[in-house]
Amino acid sequence: MEMMADDYDTRDILRPLVFRLHENVPAIVREVLLERGWTEFDKKEQADADWNLYWRNSPFRMTDHHSIKPWQRLNHYPEAVRITRKDYLARHLKRMKGAYGSALYEFSPVAFIMPNDYVKFIAEYSKERQSVGRRPSYWICKPVDLSRGRGILIFQDIKDLVYDCTVIVQKYISNPLLISGYKLDLRLYVCVTSFCPLTIYAYEEGLVRFATEKFDLGSLDNIYAHLTNTSINKYGASYEKYKEGIGCGCKWTFSKFRSYLRIFGADDTLLWQKINNIVILTLLAVTPLPVASNCFELFGFDILIDDKFKPWLLEVNYNPALCLDCSIDDTVKRKLLHDIVELLNYKQIDTLRQNQVAGTKTDRRRVPWSTTGESGTWEAPGLLTCRQVAKCTSASSVQPSVHPLLQATRRSIRKVATLTKKTARAHPRKTLTSELRERMNMPKIPSQAKAEAKNKQLPGAGHSPHKSTQLSHWLPTPDFCNYELTTRPYFLSDKDQRPIPRVGDFVLIFPFNEAALQASRDGTDVKSIIKEINKLVRKQLPSKQQNTKKRVGYLTSV
């Protein structure tokens, strides 16, 4: 007999959700979860799988992904580091520019990875120097795997360029939007609830981070004038002081910034649309990521706006800072975390976790899987293989009508699973850490490996130039493909099995229309998605932009 939620003892159903934190997770994560009535996982007292959310500052081990249970979520996707390391990001964006044209992918400053691109950089540098009437560019040199402004150097003359590790040398945006003479950038929070099908939420609230001394190209070594990192500016002499037009400290909320822009007649909505396009185009550059269920990734996108009101992507942060340096941090980050938990879409049944179902550990049983009365078949301890997922969820007794999006998810899962089986035989098992270490130590895929990888394209990937290059570069490895996937992606609404359009201040920005949804269904059809984005961009270019350009001149001089 099928058991429904009502068959359980209500005392069980009212059990709290349980979080598990790895060391060094910012205190606010614990605070928010406790505020929500969650309890903390106790390794000594509780069974291994008796938790609902595991939060770490570093990637999970593959075994954590393999053993994920339907009631659990992990705060990292495997291989998210593909866009969060500066050199990886630069390489992916360059490839996309080559495949889809620089018109769409011109939001990232030209970058060279050193020492590999040294010759190319010199060529570009010399070309500029030789062109008559052109002012030579400024450049910024950043270590690829450092954060918080550490090791950064800004220069105009090549004789000032020094580095002793892998760095990227990027064109320095020397005409930033200034408010009262201070440089600023935006920390945009983006949550990806799935890379397959791609599902992206942008957070409407966020942080504007100011430099604490006035922008001045005459003093390139003044970090308080050129870098907007809070980790730097909080130690500046002007941090605590009241700065005209900015206030004390070095932060505003997006809300305040947007009101400010509106006062000066700048089109903040158009700016936000452009920023959302940047986010989508950037994340498209790293799809497909390995298939993994019940994960999410919170990214911090750093966006700089220039005096022509053009947003530029500076970098994408893994584990964006959740420390609280000021009351603005508290307001924004606390609500952000609450909204993330909402986005994770826990159901009452999730509080039961493994051992709570009928108080037994049977090998195979049916458990209710949503409060709306739908049910699924789960193989203990709670997972199905891709094939089983397809079989089980297509059975009418389990789910009478399956939304096409869900069907598509399953199809793409099956595709990857087929590939897995083939590749798994040929490769030894690797851990995520060894996998990443290997990749980090390997700046470029050797040409032979490239050729081999090309031959192993996923079925159906041949028709798109993007797909083939991407898959050959990042061919799923046996481990990544060996996932056992849960039947119901947590990020789909119960009502219509589509991504929920808004959760708190999180707004769904991808898929943004029906065509984009279709294109992200059966494996990501990047070509079709790019076509849709091109249409969108054309629509977003009203004559209004001209007005904005004129007025921003005024704004920057304020």
Contact residues for ligand ADP (CB under 6 A)?
A: 109, 140, 142, 146-150, 152, 170, 172-173, 185, 227-229, 302, 304, 314-315
The minimum distance between CB 173 and ligand ADP, in angstroms, equals: 4
Q: How far is CA 194 from the centre of its chain?
A: 10
Report the candidate in 489, 120, 45, 529 with the shortest Cα–Cα distance to residue 284.
529
How far is the C-alpha of 53 from the C-alpha of 295, rounded, in Å? 10
CB of 507 to ligand ADP, least distance (A): 24
What is the distance, to the nearest Å, from the Cα of residue 5 to the centroid of all Cα atoms in its chain? 35
Pairwise CA distance, residues 36 & 490, whole Å: 19
Name the residue nearer to ligand ADP (CB basis): 33 or 321: 321
CB of 233 vs ligand ADP, minimal distance in Å: 10
Q: How far is the CB of 540 from ligand ADP (least distance, A)?
A: 24
Residue type for position 175:
N
Amino acid found at 392:
C
Question: 319, 332, 316: which is closest to 278 by C-alpha?
Answer: 316
461 vs 476: CA distance, rounded Å: 13
Nearer residue to ligand ADP within complex by CB, 170 or 409: 170
CB 280 within 8 A of CB 313: no
Cβ closer to ligand ADP: 142 or 251? 142
Rounded Cα distance, 403 and 400, in Å: 10
Give me 423's structure tokens: 């590749």
CB closer to ligand ADP out of 170 and 524: 170
Identify whether the C-beta of residue 326 lies closer than 8 Å to the C-beta of residue 249.
yes
By beta-carbon proximity to ligand ADP, the closer residue of 182 and 474 is: 182
DSSP 117-171: THHHHHHHHHHHHHSTTPPPPPEEEEETT--TTTT-EEESSGGG---SS-EEEEE
Nearer to ligand ADP, 220 or 392 (CB): 220
- Min dist CB 111 to ligand ADP, Å, is 8
Pairing of strands 18-21, 39-40: parallel
Task: Name which of 20 and 97 has its Cβ closer to ligand ADP.
Answer: 97
- Give 229 or 393: the residue with its C-beta nearer to ligand ADP: 229
Q: Which is nearer to ligand ADP, 171 or 454 (CB)?
A: 171
Kindly state the smallest distance separating residue 475's Cβ from ligand ADP, in Å.
29
Quick check: helix, strand or coil at residue 232? helix
Closest distance of CB 325 from ligand ADP, Å: 15
Spatial distance between the Cα atoms of 22 and 54, rounded to a whole number of angstroms: 8
Report the nearest approach of ligand ADP to the CB of residue 432 (Å): 22
Shortest Å distance, C-beta 243 to ligand ADP: 16
SS3 sequence of 103-131:
CCCCCCCCEEEECCCHHHHHHHHHHHHHC
Work out how close the CB of 232 gets to ligand ADP at its nearest, in angstroms, rounded to a whole number.
8
Closest CA to 204 of 253, 169, 160, 241: 253
Q: Which of 57, 8, 76 is nearest to 347 (CA)?
A: 8
Minimum distance, C-beta of residue 514 to ligand ADP, in the bound complex (Å): 36
Residue 292 vs 313, nearer CB to ligand ADP: 313
Of 483, 481, 482, 461, give the one whose Cα is nearest residue 471: 461
Can you give 249-316 as a three-state secondary structure string? Answer: CCEEEHHHHHHHHHHCCCCHHHHHHHHHHHHHHHHHCCCCCCCCCCECEEEEEEEEEECCCCEEEEEE
CB of 480 to ligand ADP, least distance (A): 27
**How many whole angstroms from its chain centre is CA 235?**
29
Shortest distance (Å) from residue 226 CB to ligand ADP: 6
Shorter beta-carbon distance to ligand ADP: residue 147 or 194:
147
Nearer to ligand ADP by C-beta: 45 or 164?
Answer: 164
- Separation CA 20–CA 31 (nearest Å): 13
Q: How far is it, in rounded angstroms, from Cα 127 to Cα 228?
A: 30
What is the smallest separation between the CB atom of 217 and ligand ADP, expressed in angstroms? 11
For ligand ADP, the closer of residues 133 and 218 by Cβ is: 218
Nearer to ligand ADP, 231 or 418 (CB): 231
